Amino acid sequence: MIYKIVITILLTVPYILGFKTGYTGNSGLASHLLFPFSHANIFHLACNLIAVWVLKWNMKNIIPSVAISFVASFLPGISIYAQPTMGASGIIFAAIGMMWGKYFSHEYFNTWLERDMDILSGNVKKFFLYVLVPLAVMMFLPNVNFALHLYSLYLGMLYAFFHYVITLK
């Protein structure tokens, strides 16, 4: 719980102080490191804070999520807008990807041992409803870097999958 308060402070204070930095295709390293702490408006900040408080992530997922979002920021963007990318949603989508990657990895390796396919199909439906549908909507929203969200989600899933495979006993 304390880490959610710390994240809330790290996201809110820069907004209150008017700190605005984002990255574009030719931005320096500092912009790629600091973009998650800037938000375009109060609605943008509120959506990210709601996701932080709703997600069931833990402290050990935060650092990989930040690293994944940082790496994803260097991948080619799909943006027809000249505005810089900013906000913590890359970190949030990386955390979501890590959660679902862990789940799907577990299912891939253990379905035949302990899970009922009805449970799997129910969770796959949740994945489509809560992750893929919002991603599909984001494709059409103005000033949203859809590619960053998608890259962060997939990189988070890959990280969790390989982490699960490496730690599989």
Q: How far apart are CA 86 and CA 39, in angstroms?
A: 6
Please report the pLDDT score of residue 82 as a whole number: 65
Domain ranges of the chain: 2-167
If one looks up domain 2-167 in CATH, what number appears? 1.20.1540.10
Q: How far apart are CA 121 and CA 126, in angstroms?
A: 9
pLDDT tens digits in sequence order for the chain, 169 residues long: 788 888 889 889 988 988 888 887 778 888 888 889 888 889 889 988 988 888 777 777 888 999 999 999 888 765 555 678 888 889 988 988 888 888 777 766 665 444 444 444 566 667 777 777 777 887 777 778 888 888 999 999 999 988 887 776 5
Residue 66: which of 130, 3, 138, 115 has the closest Cα? 3
Q: What is the pTM of this model?
A: 0.81
Contact 158, 101 (CB under 8 A): yes
